Every structure is written in C-alpha cells, then in structure tokens.
Amino acid sequence: LQTRMQSLQPDPKAQYRSVYEALKKIVLTEGFWRPLRGINVTMLGAGPAHAMYFACYEKMKKTLSDTIQHGGNSHLANGIAGSVATLLHDAVMNPAEVVKQRMQMFNSPYKSVLQCVRTVQKTEGFSAFYRSYTTQLTMNVPFQAIHFITYEFMQEQVNPHREYNPLSHVFSGGVAGAVAAAATTPLDVCKTLLNTQENMALSSLNISGHLSGMVNAFKTVYQLGGISGYFRGVQARVIYQIPSTAIAWSVYEFFKYFLTKHKLEKRT
C-alpha cells in the first residue's frame, strides 16, 4: 500500500485517498493476495539482515556506552550504534526492497521474483539494485538513530529497571517506530521513486534514462507534488512501522532474555 500511495503520477485506476480505500480497491480489482506481492523476497533477506543488525547494535552500544558514559545508557551511543548497524542491514535489504517495490507497482510486468531480478539485471545492470542505496542510508541512518534513541528513552520511562517485560517492549517499539517513520517519510518517498523509476512521473517532466541520486529525487518529487508530495503515504508508513518495530523488539528482547537466562543457568 505504501509503495502505491507514494506513486507521484499514478495510473487513474491506482489513485487512492486513504489506506482503507487502497486496500479495498486492490483486493477487489487485483485479488486477495495482491497486497502481499514481493513479501517472499523480503522474508528471504530479513533473517540475515536482522541478525547482523542486532548483533552489531548490541556490540557497538555496549562499547560506546562504556566509553561515553561508563556503562550507563547513552543516547549518543544508542544513536551511533543504530546508525552503523544500518549499513550492514541495508546492504542485504536494498536489492530485496527494489524487487519488492517493482512487483507491488500497479500493472507490474513481473510475474515472479526471479523474473524481476533477471529482467532488472539484464536491462539496467547490477547497479539498479543499489541505485537507491545512498538514499536508503540517508533515510535509514536518521530513522534508526531516532528509532533506537526513542526506544531506549521509552524503556527508561516505562521499564527503568530494564527487566524482561513484554508489554513494555511492545509499547516502546511501537512508539519508536511511529516517531521514526513520520520523521523520515520525505526520504522514503524519494527512495520509492528511485527504486521504481516510475515511468509516468519521469516522462511528465521529460526526464529520459534513469533517475539517480537523492538530490535529483528530491527535486523531482518537489516538481511533481510540492511540499505535500514529500508526505505521500505517511499514514500507511506509520501504520506499517508500529506493528513492525513492536514485533521486532518484543521478539528480540525475548530471545535476548531467554539466551542470557540459559547461559547464567549453565554457569551456576
């Protein structure tokens, strides 16, 4: 839904006023499973990407917190650790995101993930999978910095003793995701344009070839939609991020607690 709603020059048949209307229209006209297209490639990349992401975050957070605040909770350490972890995460997820978004566009010519990968590789080259990588990082570094700082801040408020408390992890994760998602929506709109290379949008401005670079994407979005263009799909983005980050943190905190407890029991 987010990809469709961020379209800058949508087909008349793919114009939506709200998340509910978009979902209803897509299901009725394109089938029940259409909103889930491309989810398999996202799932394939998510496992290794998140493993590297959380491992890097924990290690860097501990090292930097020891240096900056002698083992205490440092917001600066949390922000830096989250930003560095993003470099590894996005290196894996960027190609998956390109494929997913191309398959989700209205009237997408791709029937399968493999066909999409082969076609993009053949027509645009390997670099197409990383065309939005700098924009992705430019978006995700502030996103993850805000996300981790907000999560750790919320934990200080609702779970000051930092015990395993599923409800506090779900709540803190949801709030962190919502705040970070809303703040970085303009960058996400630019990333979607770079990933999808939306033909109608580019041809309306007489842009030939492929659009590349965040600066060009920012200019193009403004030319097509003005200031409001940067916030297309903000509602869908926030709605998506709240459960996403809430689930991610609750699952992560559970395994962290479970493995730590198991390790302590083995020692004693």
Question: Alpha-carbon distance 230 to 244, whole Å?
Answer: 22
Report which residue type is found at 144.
Q
> In the prediction, which pLDDT does 20 show?
67
The pLDDT of residue 174 is above 90: yes
In angstroms, what CA-CA distances link 121 with 158, 167, 265? 48, 44, 51
Question: Alpha-carbon distance 4 to 237, whole Å?
Answer: 11
| Residue 1: strand, helix, or coil | coil
pLDDT tens track for 223-239: 888 998 888 888 988 99
Report which residue type is found at 191.
K
Question: Alpha-carbon distance 131 to 210, whole Å?
Answer: 10
Q: What is the number of alpha carbons within 13 Å of residue 211 lying toward its C-beta?
A: 27
Question: Alpha-carbon distance 52 to 66, whole Å?
Answer: 21
Domain spans, the chain: 1-37
Question: Alpha-carbon distance 191 to 256, whole Å?
Answer: 33
Mean pLDDT of 29-47: 62
Higher pLDDT pick, 2 / 54: 54
> In the prediction, which pLDDT does 101 show?
78
Residue 163 DSSP one-character state: -
> In the prediction, which pLDDT does 259 show?
85
Q: Are 210 and 199 in contact (CB under 8 A)?
A: no
How long, in residues, is the chain?
268
Residues 6+ apart with CB under 8 A from 123: none
Q: What whole-number percentage of the chain has pLDDT above 90? A: 23
pLDDT tens track for 243-264: 999 999 999 999 889 888 766 6
Question: Alpha-carbon distance 83 to 33, whole Å?
Answer: 34
For the chain, helix, strand, coil in percent to 5 are 80, 0, 20
In angstroms, what CA-CA distances link 107 with 30, 93, 268? 10, 24, 60
In angstroms, what CA-CA distances link 40 with 19, 24, 96, 182, 258? 22, 22, 9, 26, 28
